A and B are shown apart, each in its own frame.
Chain A
Amino acid sequence: MNIPQDQLAHVAHQLRNPLNTISVNAELARLQLQKQQDPNDILMSLERILQECKRCAALLNELSPPT
């Protein structure tokens, strides 16, 4: 499969934002657990991680649709 370089660069660039959000929410969830905060807050952080994972998957699908 040949993917044009510029398309690869575009997706790589686009992936940074959801990855960033996943990173920050994972850090937050860890801190919330350590500080024994409300489980609902921790669930919210995890929910945001899942949403961003879907964003990543959608971007990757642009490059290579699932078979």
Chain B
Amino acid sequence: MALILLVDDDKNFTQATGELLNIMGHEVTIADNLAEAGAALSKQRFDILLLDLMLPDGSGFQVLENIPESQRPAHITIITGNSAVKSLVKKVMGPNISYLIKPIDLEQLQALIGRIEKKNTPGSSQVEKHFNVLIGESPTMHKLYQMIKRVAATKANVLLQGESGVGKELVANAIHHASGCEGAFVAWNCGAASRELIGSELFGHEKGAFTGAIARKQGLFEQADGGTLFLDEITEMPIDMQPNLLRVLETQRVTRLGGAQEIAVNCRVISATNRTTEQLAEEECLREDIYFRLAVFPIAIPPLRERPGDIELLAKSFLHELNLQNDCNLSLSQESLHRLTQYDWPGNVRELRHAIHRAFIMSDPESSELILPTELASPFARERKKTQGLIPGKTIEEVERELITLTLEQVDGDKPRAAEMLGVSLKTLYNRLNNYEKQLQDEVER
């Protein structure tokens, strides 16, 4: 069964096609216009999007442009009456889009869905996505899922903290979906708008409120009414603008710029920052009063290096998506997986996704194996030499040797500093190193 979103303004067509697809065993949601399509796409992730390009309130291209990456349907099909549109769309959207040419018959529909289901046959790596978006089975991620579930059941505002690339928007999305609220998920980056526009974006404006305000505009709070407003990089909002936001958070009412009337808004605000709580306090980039309003429930998202067990799952899932989109069947060898798990991923999941994408582009589409570049490291990190750690069965001497080697590596061979860190005298350190050298010689001679 596939989850299908059908976007077309011809009701006689959508009703019949919806029923046809239902009889064929699929679940269909119908949207008559751009706004309805946007709302449906923000609520759930569809397997297939069937899209007419001519909509009463805009073009189907606008639907495609506004889909958040996390909600992008696996397959997009354009419904068109003119096969010449194909080459035009191909130029704009790339080759991974299919078409239904009007008049549509059962054969076309069956062929399309048959092709898609064939691509999704079991055996291809299907990784479980928690809340439809999050991947990972490590204990830290399960703890995160539990927190998402708990906070989703409340109306509390959430502050997401985590390094760049850990997937803060995906977690916000997960909370929105788990809450089962009716309204839309509206995401906005506080660093993306100029200072003059922030007020208009958040609270909207009335016609004529300022030069260039040619029509009334709904603000983000109004758009997210009954749903979730995600404010990314909240600390990028100028500190003197923050009291305006605080007022809305406290009163749950907005006044559009140039307007006189207060409008009640009811949405959860999820904000995100890549700063730690200590940094927030030290750098004074977020007012204390607004922090307490936003961080009713703070959630820390772990960096990828703290959940290395998930690297394999994530890499396989990204590769699976690329295989589907490009009709390929590449896989990851054990050696490649080992290399991926040895790397630090300072750019977190985003960096891993890009690394897989880059490797995918470089690999031969006819081959069966994904070839990783010889150098994975970005300028931001170095490959970690992983130790085996504390494992029962090792001798104290072995663990001691491992610790000394690691410490020396950390301080670039500075022995007095290493001795200090290890809490031994410099003489003891030299004695140990001499012993290791002797042992090595003995081994070689043997």
Q: A residues near B, CB below 8 A?
A: 13, 16-17, 19-25, 27-28, 30-32, 35, 41, 45, 48, 51-52
Contact = CB atoms under 8 A, between A and B. Distances in A.
Interface residues of B, number: 16
B23 A35 contact: yes
Given A13-B81, A16-B81, A17-B10, A24 B23 contact: no
B12 A27 contact: no
Tell me the dominant secondary structure on chain B's binding face. helix
A45 B16 contact: yes
A30 B105 CA distance: 11
B106 A19 contact: no
Nearest to B109: A27
A32 B15 CA distance: 14
A50 B385 CA distance: 73
A28 to B, nearest CB: 5
Contacts of A32: 19, 23
A31 B104 contact: no
Contacts of B20: 24, 27-28, 31
B16 A25 contact: yes
Contacts of A28: 16, 19-20, 23
B111 to A, nearest CB: 13
A52 B12 CA distance: 8
B105 A27 contact: yes
B309 to A, nearest CB: 48
A16 B103 CA distance: 7
Contacts, number: 59
B336 interface: no
A46 B105 CA distance: 16
A21 B105 contact: no
B33 to A, nearest CB: 16
A30 B20 CA distance: 10
A20 B144 CA distance: 48
Contacts of B106: 27, 30-31
26 contacts: A16-B81, A16-B82, A16-B102, A16-B103, A17-B10, A17-B13, A17-B81, A17-B102, A19-B102, A19-B103, A20-B104, A21-B10, A24-B16, A24-B20, A24-B104, A25-B12, A27-B16, A27-B105, A27-B106, A28-B19, A28-B23, A31-B20, A32-B23, A41-B19, A45-B16, A45-B19
A3 B334 CA distance: 69
B71 interface: no
Interface string B5-19: 000001011011101
Contacts of A27: 16, 20, 105-106
Nearest to A16: B81
Given A16-B103, A17-B10, A19-B103, A24 B17 contact: yes
Contact of B13 (A24, A31, A35): A24
A32 B102 CA distance: 21
Residue among A20, A22, A41, A48 with most chain B CB within 10 A:
A20
B23 A20 contact: no
B417 to A, nearest CB: 76
A51 B104 contact: no
A24 to B, nearest CB: 5
B161 to A, nearest CB: 50
Nearest to B9: A17
B81 A20 contact: yes
